[in-house]
Structures are given as C-alpha cells and as structure tokens.
C-alpha cells in the first residue's frame, strides 16, 4: 500500500497484514478522494477504526490540517505511528480506544470534525448507531461529511440531520457519503 496523491505521494504504508483489518485498495481510495477533493483542503478529519491509518494519512497528504486516528487495536496504533514517521506531530493524534469511548471523549472535549471516515470491521454492525450519534450532536461540523465504507448494507433510509449525498460501488465494497444539515 502507498499514499496515492498529494504531499506524501508514494509513501509506503505498512499494516495491510494486521489481522482484522482490510485496507482500502488504491483504486477505491483514489476514487474516494476524487469525490471529496473540494472538502479535504484545510479540513479536520476523524479516522475512526483507523487500521493502518491509510485513509487518514491520505487525507493529510491531500491538505487536511489535522487527523485524529482512533483504533481499539494496540498493534494498529503502533503501525499508524510508524506510518506517520516524519509527518509533523502537530497535524495528528493517535488514540488507542474503543470507538464508543472515543466518541464520548470527543463529545466531552467538544471536538468537531469536517470529515469523518468510517471503515469498521465488517462483522461490527455499528453504522446505524454511529450515524444517529453524528446527526444528533456537534461532533460532525455543520455541512461536514461522513464517509462509510462497507460490504453489507446496514443502513436505514434516513438519519437525523444527515443527507445521503453519494453512493458508489467498487466490486463487493461500497461507499456512502452523508452530509450534515440542520433541519430548518
């Protein structure tokens, strides 16, 4: 795996072999970042279920000013730290936390993000719970986006204050992009 565009283009990313992770492949990643190219520059990003950090580092490479990497697997956090070698430390943080604890912590700290990347292990059915959470609180900034990568559709028709903007299929994997809008 490599960073495919931006400042860190060509940088090797370790961690594709970590048990329980499934890194986003280059073709899908390239298409995803093309879809959000107008959103990424200057953005604050949350890479929840970060795995190797592949998507969050791609975001930094393409102009995000800060990425928060969260993963419950200690090995993943160690690999992310290694993958971030020589990237300025003030542009990221790594937290070895369960996603529910991380969301609670961010809410308590009143943190908010422009872009949230969700790529949980496929056996974890949590999209519904997380999207409701993002729609009802201020963790996702107004007009911010949530990007969901998944195999099995586990979504409902609507979520509070979130509008489905795009859906794309890449073989057996799919991406959904939701935008936060307050109800009038």
With respect to residue 103, please indicate whether it lies within any of the assigned structural domains.
Answer: yes
Roughly how many angstroms between the first and final C-alpha of the chain, as a whole number? 43
Residues 65, 42 contacting (CB under 8 angstroms): yes
Specify the CATH number for the domain of residue 132: 3.40.50.150
Angle formed at CA 104 by CA 102 and CA 108, multiple of 5 degrees: 115
> Per-residue pLDDT averaged across 73-90, rounded?
95
With respect to residue 17, please indicate whether it lies within any of the assigned structural domains.
Answer: no
With respect to residue 159, please indicate whether it lies within any of the assigned structural domains.
Answer: yes
- Tell me the sheet residues that pair with 68: 46, 93
Per-residue model confidence (pLDDT) at position 178: 94
When pLDDT is cut at 50, 70 and 90, the band that residue 51 belongs to is very high
Contacts of 123 (CB under 8 A, 6+ apart): none
With respect to residue 9, please indicate whether it lies within any of the assigned structural domains.
Answer: no
With respect to residue 12, please indicate whether it lies within any of the assigned structural domains.
Answer: no
When pLDDT is cut at 50, 70 and 90, the band that residue 89 belongs to is very high
Overall number of domains in the chain: 1
Percent of the chain predicted with pLDDT > 70: 92
> Per-residue pLDDT averaged across 70-75, rounded?
95
Identify which of 1, 50, 48, 49 has the alpha carbon closest to the alpha carbon of residue 29: 1
**Residue-range definition of the domain harbouring residue 70:** 26-180
With respect to residue 1, please indicate whether it lies within any of the assigned structural domains.
Answer: no
Q: What is the pTM of this model?
A: 0.93
With respect to residue 7, please indicate whether it lies within any of the assigned structural domains.
Answer: no
With respect to residue 3, please indicate whether it lies within any of the assigned structural domains.
Answer: no
Highest mean pLDDT among 117-126, 136-145, 152-161: 136-145
In which order are the strands placed within the sheet that holds 162-170?
Answer: 92-96, 66-71, 44-48, 113-118, 140-150, 173-180, 162-170
Give 27-45 pLDDT, tens digit per residue.
788 889 999 999 999 999 9
How many residues does the structure list for the chain?
Answer: 184
């Amino acid at each position: 795996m490599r960073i495919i565009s931006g400042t860190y283009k060509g940088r090797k990313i370790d961690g594709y072999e970590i048990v329980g992770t499934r890194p986003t492949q280059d073709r899908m990643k390239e298409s995803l970042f093309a879809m959000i190219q107008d959103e990424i520059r200057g953005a604050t990003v949350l890479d929840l279920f970060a795995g190797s950090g592949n998507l969050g580092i791609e975001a930094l490479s393409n102009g995000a000013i800060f990425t928060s990497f969260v993963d419950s697997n200690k090995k993943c956090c160690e690999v992310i730290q290694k993958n971030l070698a020589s990237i300025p430390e003030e542009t990221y943080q790594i937290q070895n936390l369960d996603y529910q604890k991380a969301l609670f912590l961010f809410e308590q700290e009143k943190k908010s993000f422009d872009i949230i990347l969700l790529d949980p292990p496929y056996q974890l059915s949590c999209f519904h719970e997380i999207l409701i959470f993002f729609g009802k609180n201020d963790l996702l900034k107004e007009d911010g986006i949530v990007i969901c990568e998944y195999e099995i559709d586990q979504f409902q028709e609507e979520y509070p204050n979130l509008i489905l903007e795009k859906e794309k299929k890449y073989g057996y994997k799919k991406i959904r992009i939701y935008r936060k809008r307050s109800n009038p």
